[in-house]
Amino acid sequence: MIHSDATAWQHWQLTRDGEGLAWLSLDKAGESTNSLSAAVLAELSGVLDELERHPPRGLILRSAKAAGFIAGADIGEFDALADIAAARAMVTRGWELCNRLAAVPYPTLALVRGHCLGGGLELALACRTLVVVDEPGTKLGLPEVMLGIFPGWGGMARLPRRVGPGLALDLMLTGKTVDAKKAKRLGLADACVPPRVMEAAARSLALTPPRHQPLPLLQRLFLGPLRPVVARQARQQVAKRAWPEHYPAPYAIIDLWAKHDGNPLGAPEILESIVASPTTANLLRVFRLQERLKAFGKGGDFAPARVHVVGAGVMGGDIAAWCAARGLTVTLQDQTVARIAPAIQRAYGSLSKRLKDKLQLRNVMDRLIPDPEGHGAAHADVVIEAIFENLGAKQRLLQDLEARMKPEAVLATNTSSLCLEDLSRVLQRPERLVGLHFFNPVARMPLVEVVSAAGGDPAMARKACAFVGRIDKLPLPVKSAPGFLVNAVLGPYLLEAMACVDEGLTPETVDEAALAFGMPMGPLELADTVGLDIAMAAGQALTRQGAASPQCLTRLFQQGHLGRKTGQGFYPYPGGKVRKGAAGPVPAGLGERLLAPLIARTAQLVADGVVADQDLADGGVIFGTGFAPFRGGPLHYARSRNV
């Protein structure tokens, strides 16, 4: 490279090579990850000024960081969104800069390696050519809707023109990301190249830009006269999962695209409505809670490579499959190969739906090793006990595992109801036992409670958190207590719902009240999904404290109706799918009544020290139960209402 004599910038590096190409690298000062702050964008404007004075043959935009391309706009500046003038200035700044980049007279190319999200993808879309590097960390998307906002820097206009409006709206309305190969297949990227040739490919394509294939005729019609049809279908799909009063951002995206071609400056009333919505502030809060939980998984130098799971039931098998899919070598133990086989088959069926690359699927399945003799325990960095909930059986197993494990390995139990102090009592080193409480279904639930017993080794808890982070889950440190955090708060919630049924309300009415509050599933359908036998055991535990078991639960249990798994619970499940009747009118305040015990129990667990503080409790309940994210967490919600 031949260095330019341009002004030195704090965040950008500009070099020119012998062929006249300008290579512009973003290396945001003082940060491990690139994001687009006001300062970064101001410097980019200065770079474009320099290039306007001395135009290159072409411009290649890339990252100088190993951590990825650009993660999006600087989340630290989003507090300014509470001010409409500041929000408008932020949108205007990015909108005008991306338009300026799109209009330069020389060829432009974005070389994307690693995450390219939000404003980062909008900047890349403003380049005429987009090249993605084929490696696991490359992900592209416009996930602003997850923060309660919309892509405001041109992405709402440019993405539909590249991939078609139906697909573009699906990506923007769900916040989904795509990998490098899929980006090329969809037409989002012009080329997908391996890392070893990325610079050569970028140079070649910058000097000789590829011709973009026009969208098919029907897609062009959807961008033109049939645009209202696409918008109407998108609204119908969004309405199935998000109420406009709860989540206004997806509806704003549809309206901005349909009526203003994705230009938020053309509809200041929509921008103002999003800025004024409490949903936006609360979803930004949830994002920060998520980042705090992620931070627990990033500490230390523990880098587990091998996992041994004992118990090939639904939970143990799914934990093993998840770990294998995340690149770890997993040995799965049960009494016989015949007991392990269903877990392997279930893993293959689930993974084959997500992994279209057959070689990748085979590699994952090769890492999932049946191990009826338990030989893997001696080599594992993390050993997880996931057998049935019986104290004696678990104690005997943990004793056996401790004798065979590496002394520095993590010994964990997935128990959801037994006391860690009781389980660890039989161990030579009781302080090493930690809880790793996964939730069902493992592939969908992001939270894992990392449980520490009294007298537990903090180093083991930190290792357990690092393991959870390594498999892309959110670790929540909690103290050993009945139900830990998540199950402890769900119990009173489910019992309150059942009390409403005992009072004469239909299950449909009760569940509809919870859905109207913003819960992802009604409490009675949730009880059916968990299993009414499990709910009955929880109810009996509460009864010993003086509470009465709900009559409706007792009746169903005695009839053998245990929920979804038996085909009948509070609802029938023909073919495994729930069938509900009409909900009817929902009494005023029913949603708040249902959630009040959950909120009270959450506050009590913070006061008891089971979870360290209110923010962590809010994060745990949101990611462990699905508590309405747009409300910012149960304790935050209570504070906002002065409850």
Q: What pLDDT, on the 0 to 100 scale, is given for residue 541?
A: 57
Inter-axis angle of helices 268-276 and 84-102, nearest 10: 130
The catalytic residue among 11, 308, 437, 636 is 437
The catalytic residue among 452, 487, 512, 636 is 487
Report which of 389, 377, 447 is spatially closest to residue 422, judged by C-alpha positions: 389
Please count the helices (runs of H) and the strands (runs of E) in the chain.
26, 18
In the block, tokens 């997908």 appear at 192
CA distance linking residue 189 with residue 121, whole number of Å:
11
pTM of the model: 0.91
In the block, tokens 């390219």 appear at 116
The catalytic residue among 43, 122, 449, 525 is 449
Active site residue 277: no
pLDDT in tens, 1-34: 444 444 579 999 999 999 999 999 999 999 999 9
Beta-carbon neighbour count of residue 72 at 10 Å?
A: 24
Active site residue 291: no
Q: What pLDDT, on the 0 to 100 scale, is given for residue 308?
A: 98
CA distance linking residue 558 with residue 576, whole number of Å:
21
Classify 73 as helix, strand or coil: strand
Looking at 412-531, list the stretches that DSSP marks H as alpha helix, in order from N- to C-terminal side. 420-424, 458-470, 486-502, 507-517, 523-530
Active site residue 416: yes
pLDDT in tens, 429-481: 999 999 999 998 899 999 999 999 999 999 999 999 999 999 999 999 999 99
Q: What pLDDT, on the 0 to 100 scale, is given for residue 2?
A: 44
In the chain the first and final C-alpha atoms are separated, in Å, by 63
Put the strands of the sheet holding 368-370 in their side by side order: 368-370, 329-333, 306-310, 382-385, 410-413, 433-437, 447-452, 474-479
Is 159 in contact with 196 (CB distance < 8 Å)? no
Evaluate if residue 543 carries a pLDDT over 70. no
pLDDT in tens, 78-131: 876 668 888 899 999 999 999 999 999 999 999 999 999 999 999 999 999 999
- Which band of pLDDT confidence, cut at 50, 70 and 90, is reported for residue 547? low
- Which band of pLDDT confidence, cut at 50, 70 and 90, is reported for residue 300? confident
| Mean pLDDT score, 259-267 | 95
Q: What pLDDT, on the 0 to 100 scale, is given for residue 213?
A: 85
CA distance linking residue 140 with residue 151, whole number of Å:
13
| Mean pLDDT score, 270-299 | 93
- Which band of pLDDT confidence, cut at 50, 70 and 90, is reported for residue 67? confident
| Mean pLDDT score, 307-311 | 98
CA distance linking residue 221 with residue 232, whole number of Å:
15
In the block, tokens 């009880």 appear at 527
Q: What pLDDT, on the 0 to 100 scale, is given for residue 628?
A: 95
The catalytic residue among 4, 35, 416, 424 is 416
Q: How does strand 329-333 pair with strand 177-179? A: unpaired
Q: How far is CA 499 from CA 145, 539, 587, 593, in A?
A: 36, 12, 15, 11
Report which of 110, 104, 116, 2 is spatially closest to residue 68, judged by C-alpha positions: 116
Is 343 in contact with 365 (CB distance < 8 Å)? no
Higher pLDDT among residues 303 and 79, named by residue: 303
Classify 293 as helix, strand or coil: helix
Q: What pLDDT, on the 0 to 100 scale, is given for residue 3?
A: 47
CA distance linking residue 205 with residue 129, whole number of Å:
8
pLDDT in tens, 487-504: 999 999 999 999 999 999
- Which band of pLDDT confidence, cut at 50, 70 and 90, is reported for residue 281? very high
Q: Lowest-pLDDT range, 225-229, 435-439, 538-542, 590-594?
A: 538-542
Kindly state the percentage of the chain with pLDDT values over 70. 97
Active site residue 449: yes
- Which band of pLDDT confidence, cut at 50, 70 and 90, is reported for residue 643? low
Evaluate if residue 545 carries a pLDDT over 70. no
Burial grade of 326 (CB within 10 A; 0-12, 13-18, 19 or more)? middle
- Which band of pLDDT confidence, cut at 50, 70 and 90, is reported for residue 356? confident
Asked, as a colleague might, if the bond just before 441 is cis with ω within 30 of 0, I would say yes
Q: What pLDDT, on the 0 to 100 scale, is given for residue 540?
A: 61
Q: How many residues does the chain have?
A: 643
Evaluate if residue 299 carries a pLDDT over 80. no
pLDDT in tens, 608-622: 999 999 999 999 999
Q: What pLDDT, on the 0 to 100 scale, is given for residue 1?
A: 45
How confident is the prediction for the chain on average, in pLDDT?
94
Q: What pLDDT, on the 0 to 100 scale, is given for residue 84?
A: 86
**DSSP for 48-70?**
HHHHHHS--SEEEEEESSTT-SB
Q: What pLDDT, on the 0 to 100 scale, is given for residue 534?
A: 82
Kindly state the percentage of the chain with pLDDT values over 90. 88
Q: What pLDDT, on the 0 to 100 scale, is given for residue 599?
A: 97
- Interior CA angle at 528 toward 527 and 532, to 5°? 75
Instruction: Please name the residues in contact with 143: beta carbons below 8 A apart, sequence gap of 6 or more.
Output: 72, 117, 118, 175, 176, 177
**What secondary structure letter does DSSP report for 607?**
H
